[in-house]
């Protein structure tokens, strides 16, 4: 059943589902994403989900503050997505989501909520209870001993109702790399980051992609394999 948050026009074809085989430098990824968004806006280019990995880097969203960059261990890129600092690197699945909300539902909050639901359903396939938290965008996993850890982040931008940037899911990244920043501006010992591997699940990136694609179809509609943008 499709999400009630993002109804879609019957004329919309399947979303192009593109998996990049090798890590993509961040500036290149942004340029390719911008070009694809332009094509969607211009017509004739299908909506797209682009799955990839980045080399180790930090990105600073539009709400980032200098104090949250604790140690610039890797290149830092300012970006137009919402949110604060986050880390991207090998072992983390980044999904850039380029959908036409004008032909679905022009409601950014509904879109973000559906991104959360997408991640929650994908995690459920691995018996992980991902949860929302009021006032904190992203998906969290509760610790048995108290506290909670973020397993997936969300940061989006919308241009003329076409979305870009998207989500990141920690499959098996080096979690120590997050300690160079205050991830998403949320610090303190009660908050941390985790991954499928840290939860004791030896999930491959291909496994994660299967779960993400299946759950995406439940929320947003069908997706068909395509070449990267």
Active-site residue, selected from the candidate residues 94, 141, 184, 196: 184
User: CA distances (Å), 49 to each of 26, 40, 142, 163, in order?
Assistant: 16, 12, 29, 10
Distances (CA, A) of 44 to 11, 12, 41, 75: 13, 11, 9, 35
Which of 172, 164, 179 lies closest to 205, judged by CA?
Answer: 172
> Residue 67 corresponds to which tokens in the numbers above?
């104090």
Pairing of strands 48-52, 15-19: parallel
3-state DSSP helix/strand/coil % of the chain, to nearest 5: 30, 30, 40
- Stated as kind and residue range, the H or E segment containing 139 is strand 136-142
Whether 42 sits among the annotated catalytic residues: the reply is no
Can you list the pairs that 65-69 forms with residues at least 24 positions away whose Cβ atoms lie under 8 Å?
A: 65/185, 67/182, 68/181, 68/182, 68/185, 69/180, 69/181
Report the alpha-carbon distance of residue 38 to residue 160 in Å, rounded.
10
Catalytic residues: 184
């Amino acid at each position: 059943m499709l999400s009630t948050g993002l109804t879609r026009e019957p004329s919309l074809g399947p979303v192009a589902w593109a998996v990049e085989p090798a890590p993509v430098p961040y500036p290149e990824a942004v340029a390719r994403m911008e070009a694809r968004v332009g094509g969607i806006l211009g017509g004739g280019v299908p909506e797209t989900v682009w799955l990839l990995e980045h080399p180790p880097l930090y990105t600073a969203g539009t709400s980032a503050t200098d104090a949250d960059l604790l140690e610039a261990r890797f290149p830092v890129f300012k970006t137009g997505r919402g949110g604060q600092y986050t880390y991207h690197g090998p072992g983390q699945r980044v999904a850039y989501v380029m959908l036409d909300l004008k032909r679905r539902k022009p409601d950014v909050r509904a879109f973000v909520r559906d991104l959360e639901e997408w991640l929650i359903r994908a995690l459920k396939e691995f018996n992980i209870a991902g949860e929302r938290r009021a006032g904190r965008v992203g998906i969290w996993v509760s610790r048995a001993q108290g506290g909670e850890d973020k397993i997936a982040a969300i940061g989006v931008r919308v241009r003329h109702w076409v979305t870009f940037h998207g989500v990141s899911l920690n499959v098996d990244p080096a979690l120590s790399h997050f300690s160079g920043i205050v991830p998403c501006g949320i610090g303190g010992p009660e908050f941390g980051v985790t991954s499928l591997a840290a939860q004791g699940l030896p999930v491959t990136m291909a496994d994660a992609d299967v779960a993400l694609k299946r759950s995406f179809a439940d929320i947003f509609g069908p997706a068909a394999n395509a070449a990267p943008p």
